[in-house]
Structure 1
Amino acid sequence: MQARPLEGIRVIDYSHFLAGPYVGRCLAALGAEVIKVERPGSGDAGRQHATVLDDQQSGYFLQLNMGKRGVSVNMKDPRGKAFMQRLCDSADVFVENYRPGALEKLGLGYADLSARNPGLIYCSISAYGHTGPDAHRAGFGLIAEAKSGIMQMIGTPGEAPPLLRISLGDMYTGIHAVAAINAALLGRVKSGKGQHIDMALYDTLVSMHEYAVQCYTLSGGRVLPEQTGHDMPTSTLYGVFTAADGYVVIAAQVDDAWRRFAALVESHGGPEGFGSDSRFYSLNGRNAGREEILAVINPWVAARRVSEVLALLDSIDVPCAKVQRIDEVLADPQIQARGMIVEQEHPRYGALRLPNLPFRFSDCDTTIYQVAPDLGQHNTTVAASLGYTDQEIASLEEDGVFYSARVDTSAATA
């Protein structure tokens, strides 16, 4: 097995909640030493997010911060600031997701840190980026999802758009930040210099539009994508359908797949001639006849159980799937075979099962088995790596410059 690609790279994760911590988790999986820096006392606000296990950990925090070392330092003390400067001097990458300007006040802005460490790759993640009229505004993924035009296109016509229920803006921006950081690391090999990476949630979601923007611009402003409900009028037949005992998605929008599907429907109770109706042999023809097609397909699916619909469509190689609940996803043999649920043993909570990352390399394992750190858990080891003596570390701990949570690890719970 090869070493993981980023072994030997030190990353300072000075972020909170989701987008920044996700970047750190990805870089840790790729082999980097990631040091999570948190404020004393409460630490990352994500510690108190969904599924709180105790006053120090939540499932949210455990998922996003596995594989990292944790330090907690009081930046209001000059010694804490000096520690952070030494830590950043030793780093290859610095990740933060605060509002533009916030870290400059602490001496942790790009200008200050890069002056001391010219090779530093400094990645900022914010709602709107560090330039433009909205750069100063606060925001979360929800805000970017609303402003990007994505939210306006989903849901049922005439109803308020639904929440996406996954943090699309944060995760998509996060993985783009991972790509940008790796590119900057490669570029540094040639230039010897780091640089500032400015990532915005709003930017990345606008970049996701694979058809909406060009539909509008190339039509001269005539085509404005709107909510379409459960199928896509521009890609008939492609959508969600109600079966007798659940929901299925069917993707028969490609001409060959449509012909196989239409013939199957006709041979299994559909109207005579449906499979040979040449009006529907092209995408434009199917889109024009969408309502007529749906009038056949909707009752055809509704009369059958999900398992029957899937079996029939699988037999003719038409892409389809059940709309699964999370418990069904966890039990899915494909997910199990791909190792997409990572199992960790936590000293207090016992066995943990959390989503894995989708990285798959032929010759190295990127699965993280190290659990997320307690607040300030690695103060001593990180400080020692910077050359602090035992006496200096003890003094910093005694004076409250270093903070560590006092947790009971005597018993694990299921």
Structure 2
Amino acid sequence: MTGALAGYRVLEFAHMMQGPWAGEMLADMGADVIKVEHPSGGERGRGSGTDRLREESLFYLAMNRNKRSIALDLKSPEGREVARRLVGSADVIVENFRPGVLDRLGLGYEDVRAINPKIIYCSATGYGTGPDAADKPGQDLLAQALTGTMWLTGTERDGPLPCGLFVADTHAATMIAFGVASALLHRERTGVGQRLEIDLVGAVLHLQTQELVTYLNTGRRPGRWHVGGHPYLEPTYGVYRAADGFVALSLVPLDGLLAALGLEPPDGVPISFDPDTSRYVRRAHRIYEEKLQPLVADRLRERPVADWVELLEERGLWCAPVLDYPEAAEHPLVDLPARTAEVTHPRAGAVRLVRNPLSLSETPPSVRSHPPLLGEHTAAVLGELGYSAEEIERLGEAGVVDAGHGAQRGAQ
């Protein structure tokens, strides 16, 4: 089947996660995504992360399948001319350099729109394009720190903690893909391109919609409790230690939990609260933590996780075992083999990748090709732009492009 975005060309001037993962989502849906990278080393993501598969960064491999790579020196006049010809063939540009970088190279929005008036141009930054943002490094951990996200994670004893995932990058990337698809639909209807902007701070604030709306309309700073849960939900919500691991309790009524565990509340301690009162959550949490949480925690430590999950599920109480990756891979609800795909990479060999979770009956996302080697498709892309073999060879000799370096080094 043909992907929903087949026939559209996306130029990706991007590095690390925010831009490249958006590019991968668009490529999964069939778009022809061309990574434009510097001939010397390529985009920074090729060296990111601590783990390698036969010297290839696993972070890079995770976010760059289904793309083509052209190695191009944008600081050279001839390199910029190649880029301008690429722009003329493109439908979309995705870039996540600091504000002003592509403008200085003659590839800013106004420059590009003069070449291709229908272009959809997406700029992804750390903090937007204001005067105070341009020189600051935009990175996921810093966005979490600035936006209150860390304050919601962890317990009162721990202090603020970062999320285990790069939540700002991942949501920003998803919003880029959503925005590009929306802009393409608008262009199909009107013939008009447009500029898109997204920043890490805005993305992670958007992820906190429920929590921020609660704060903005009550003025109440989120609490931090002894059990790692949620500041605006029932006090039982959280993660507890069992005899052999951890169990997560979701929206579990306190009276139902106590009954399931065979516990009686101490005399005079309420087990239900009026949620319409303004101090409901804080009062419920404090009473629970001081009077009941120690009893619940001690009881849950007495038996293995599987016993508690079985008992609680029989009573209709929402819970789940807390699993690590090896355990999650074996769980039937996770079904990891069905949610992954394997590609053969010229250097790394067999690489297992996570599938796009969307299921479309007519235009499903697909995993079609390995993450590209640096410059693997330079000659092919230049040929599509009308460059002759002799011109490509000359550009390669001048260092303007790498027309085979990556592919040759990675050949099997």
TM norm. shorter chain > 0.5: yes
Pair 1:263 & 2:263 matched: no
User: Which range moved further: 150-159 or 367-376?
Assistant: 150-159
- Aligned mates of 2:265, 2:98 — CA distance in 1: 62
SS in 2 for 1:335: coil
Equivalent AA in structure 2 for residue 227 of structure 1: R
User: Which range moved further: 345-354 or 365-374?
Assistant: 345-354
Per-residue deviation, 1:74? 1.5
Residues 183-202 of structure 1 aligned to structure 2 (within 5 Å): 183-202=182-201
Residues 97-136 of structure 1 aligned to structure 2 (within 5 Å): 97-131=96-130, 133-136=132-135
- Given candidates 224, 228, 241, the residue that maps to 1:227 is 224
Pair 1:280 & 2:272 matched: yes
Query: Is the contact made by 1:280 and 1:289 (CA closer than 8 Å) also made in structure 2?
Result: no
Residues 248-397 of structure 1 aligned to structure 2 (within 5 Å): 248-253=247-252, 255=253, 260-266=256-262, 270-271=263-264, 279-280=271-272, 284=280, 287=285, 289-291=287-289, 292-336=291-335, 339-397=338-396
SS in 2 for 1:409: coil
Aligned to 2:88: 89
SS in 2 for 1:165: coil
Query: Is the contact made by 1:236 and 1:252 (CA closer than 8 Å) also made in structure 2?
Result: no
Query: Is the contact made by 2:224 and 2:231 (CA closer than 8 Å) also made in structure 1?
Result: no
Per-residue deviation, 1:380? 1.1
Equivalent AA in structure 2 for residue 225 of structure 1: P
Change in Cα spacing, 1:157 to 1:354, as seen in structure 2 (3 Å) is same
Query: Is the contact made by 1:252 and 1:261 (CA closer than 8 Å) also made in structure 2?
Result: no
SS in 2 for 1:249: strand
- Aligned mates of 1:27, 1:134 — CA distance in 2: 28
Change in Cα spacing, 1:88 to 1:278, as seen in structure 2 (3 Å) is same
Change in Cα spacing, 1:265 to 1:233, as seen in structure 2 (3 Å) is farther
Structure 1 residues 53-75: Cα deviation after superposition (integer angstroms, max 9, x where no partner):
456x3111111111100110122
Query: Is the contact made by 1:215 and 1:225 (CA closer than 8 Å) also made in structure 2?
Result: no
Aligned to 1:52: 52
Change in Cα spacing, 1:390 to 1:249, as seen in structure 2 (3 Å) is same
SS in 1 for 2:209: coil
Segments of 5+ residues of structure 1 without an aligned counterpart are none
Q: CA RMSD in A?
A: 2.3
SS in 1 for 2:52: coil
Query: Is the contact made by 1:342 and 1:369 (CA closer than 8 Å) also made in structure 2?
Result: no
Aligned to 1:241: 240
Identity %: 31
User: Which range moved further: 86-95 or 336-345?
Assistant: 336-345
Aligned to 1:24: 23
SS in 1 for 2:409: coil
- Aligned mates of 2:337, 2:359 — CA distance in 1: 9
Per-residue deviation, 1:365? 3.3
Per-residue deviation, 1:329? 2.3
SS in 1 for 2:122: strand
Change in Cα spacing, 1:158 to 1:334, as seen in structure 2 (3 Å) is closer
SS in 2 for 1:280: coil
Equivalent AA in structure 2 for residue 407 of structure 1: R
Per-residue deviation, 1:242? 0.5
Equivalent AA in structure 2 for residue 52 of structure 1: R
- Aligned mates of 1:317, 1:407 — CA distance in 2: 58
Query: Is the contact made by 2:346 and 2:410 (CA closer than 8 Å) also made in structure 1?
Result: no
Equivalent AA in structure 2 for residue 4 of structure 1: G
Residues 158-177 of structure 1 aligned to structure 2 (within 5 Å): 159-177=158-176
- Aligned mates of 1:135, 1:231 — CA distance in 2: 36
Change in Cα spacing, 1:76 to 1:232, as seen in structure 2 (3 Å) is closer
Aligned to 1:402: 401
SS in 2 for 1:308: helix
Query: Is the contact made by 1:233 and 1:290 (CA closer than 8 Å) also made in structure 2?
Result: no
Equivalent AA in structure 1 for residue 326 of structure 2: D
- Aligned mates of 1:391, 1:195 — CA distance in 2: 37
Report the TM-score when normalising by structure 1.
Answer: 0.89
Structure 1 residues 257-282: Cα deviation after superposition (integer angstroms, max 9, x where no partner):
x554443223xxx23899xx984276
Equivalent AA in structure 2 for residue 263 of structure 1: A
Per-residue deviation, 1:205? 1.1
Per-residue deviation, 1:138? 2.1
Segments of 5+ residues of structure 2 without an aligned counterpart are none
SS in 1 for 2:334: helix
Change in Cα spacing, 1:231 to 1:293, as seen in structure 2 (3 Å) is farther
Equivalent AA in structure 2 for residue 47 of structure 1: R
Aligned to 1:63: 62
Per-residue deviation, 1:10? 0.3
Query: Is the contact made by 1:335 and 1:341 (CA closer than 8 Å) also made in structure 2?
Result: no
Off by >4 Å, runs of 4+ in structure 1: 281-288
Per-residue deviation, 1:80? 1.2
Query: Is the contact made by 2:246 and 2:322 (CA closer than 8 Å) also made in structure 1?
Result: yes
- Aligned mates of 1:398, 1:296 — CA distance in 2: 74
Per-residue deviation, 1:343? 1.5
SS in 2 for 1:112: helix
Per-residue deviation, 1:105? 0.9
Change in Cα spacing, 1:215 to 1:364, as seen in structure 2 (3 Å) is closer
- Aligned mates of 1:233, 1:34 — CA distance in 2: 42
